[in-house]
Amino acid sequence: MSDLDSFRSETRAWLEAHCPPEMRAPMKDESDACWGGRNPVFKSDAQKQWMDAMAARGWTVPDWPKDYGGGGLSPAETKILRQEMAAIGARNPLMSFGISMLGPALLKYGNEGQKKRFLTQIARGEIRWCQGYSEPGAGSDLASLQTKCEDKGDHWLVNGQKVWTSYADKADWIFCLVRTDPAAPKHKGISFLLFDMASPGVSTKPILLISGNSPFCETFFDDVAVPKEQLVGEVGKGWDVAKYLLGHEREMISGMGLGGGGGESLGAALGDRLREDPLLRADVARFDVDAIAFRAMSERFIDELKAGQAHPAQPSMMKYAGTELNKARHELAMAAGGSAALEWDSDRSKGGKAPREWLRTKANSIEGGTSEIQLGIIAKHILQLPGA
């Protein structure tokens, strides 16, 4: 048996022993996700048991170094773990912007103290993070952000406003882009700061959406004092950290294109509902072919990324393709459901609220940077235009 074969059989046995049966079913909605945090909410004992077991083994972040709470697995071992989890339908034990966004940026740009402190807390699910990038005057043109950060000698002083801050009202800490030098060219006066959402002067106001939920907020900073050591990277070089983090965010969002990871075709999921309508059946068949192509592309891109051979346009290509695919999936499911699918509180046969999910997908091609912006980035890198 090769080392990887033994790793696979040990992993399979460990998962069999430690993943509770309740955690082997797809999540029905967002309330099934475990977000951790200072005051974690667990929907069931099984959910807590699963999160604790995975965190104790470092498998909430299997490929991070053991020194920072990770599992220390190689890319090949990490892939095996993901395959074995998928084989038994095991849920992701911990949803976390810390894992999918901040962690990779800290691994590259954080100092040793920041890595030891924050990465281990992220791995154990002890801090829930939110992302303070967008502002009322800075979305696609993010580098126009104006949140002011002044050097007060022994601390930073932050004043300004963020918008669309997902789960800001539930988060413990924020990773935030601030302007430390208003006189510098706009990309050069930005810094990357971490601070506690319980700091005096931080307040949030939830925004209500058409889906009926309020997943994000306006976030206000009014004379917020931040310890000096919580700035990541160099003063004025936050744009590099911001862009690196966005690449990871875009890859995370692109996962929506996989449709929950089970690999079931949409045609199979919609079943009888397609029998009466050959045109819809043809559209669904076309979609299923695109979904297979996307899955293959994702696998290849992730392998290239782990091998350090990723093309700079890759995260934008995956984000664009994955989110457009996810929107198409829900459009087709709604079309197949007919007028009955419009019923606001109806359950689909697979579970979940069809029209709410459908409306939520409209945001996929906006969050993390719009589709138009991704196409611009792809064009810039492929055509080698200035600024690529």
Residues with catalytic roles: 249
In the complex, the smallest distance separating the C-beta of residue 101 from ligand FAD, rounded to whole angstroms, is: 9
Which span (60-68, 280-288, 346-354, 367-375) binds ligand FAD, by CB under 6 A?
367-375
Determine whether 321 is exposed, middle or buried from the number of CB atoms within 10 Å of its CB (0-12, 13-18, 19+).
Answer: buried
256: left (phi over 0), alpha (psi -120 to 50) or beta: alpha
Which of 123, 369, 377, 378 binds ligand FAD (CB under 6 A)? It is 369
Q: Are 165 and 138 in contact (CB under 8 A)?
A: no
**Residue 207 lies near ligand FAD (rule: CB under 6 A):** no
In whole angstroms, the minimum distance from the beta carbon of 114 to ligand FAD comes to 21
Residue 387 CB, shortest distance to ligand FAD, in Å, is: 12
* Contact in structure between 167 and 130 (CB atoms under 8 Å): yes
| Residue placing its CB nearer to ligand FAD in the complex, 60 or 147 | 147
Handedness of CA 311, 312, 314, 320 (dihedral sign): negative
For 76, phi then psi, to 5°, come to: -65, -40
Nearest distance from C-beta of residue 366 to ligand FAD, angstroms:
4
Q: Which is nearer to ligand FAD, 161 or 166 (CB)?
A: 166
Residue 211 interacts with ligand FAD (CB under 6 A): yes or no: no
Selected binder of ligand FAD within 225, 370, 380, 381 (CB under 6 A): 370
DSSP state letters, 289-347? HHHHHHHHHHHHHHHHHHTT---TTHHHHHHHHHHHHHHHHHHHHHHHHGGGGG-TTPB
For residue 145, the minimal CB distance to ligand FAD (Å) is 9
Q: Which is nearer to ligand FAD, 23 or 94 (CB)?
A: 94
Phi, psi for residue 317 in degrees, rounded to 5: -65, -45
Chain position whose Cβ is nearest to ligand FAD: 139
Per-residue x/- track, 130-169, ligand FAD (CB under 6 A): xxxxx----xx-----------------------xxx---
CA distance 100 to 245: 9
Residue 76 vs residues 4, 57, 62: alpha-carbon distances, Å: 8, 17, 11
Residue type, 107: L
Closest CB to ligand FAD among residues 248, 273: 248
SS3 29: coil
Among 372, 379, 382, 388, binds ligand FAD (CB under 6 A): 372
Nearest CB to ligand FAD, comparing residues 60 and 131: 131
| Other beta carbons within 10 Å of 279 | 8
The correct pick among 280, 297, 363, 381 for binding ligand FAD (CB under 6 A) is 363
Is residue 374 a contact point for ligand FAD (CB under 6 A)?
A: no
Which of 59, 216, 294, 320 is in the footprint of ligand FAD by CB under 6 A? 216
Q: How far is the CB of 102 from ligand FAD (least distance, A)?
A: 12
Residue 28 near residue 352, CB atoms below 8 Å: yes
Site of interaction with ligand FAD (CB under 6 A): 130-134, 139-140, 164-166, 216, 363, 366-367, 369-370, 372-373, 376
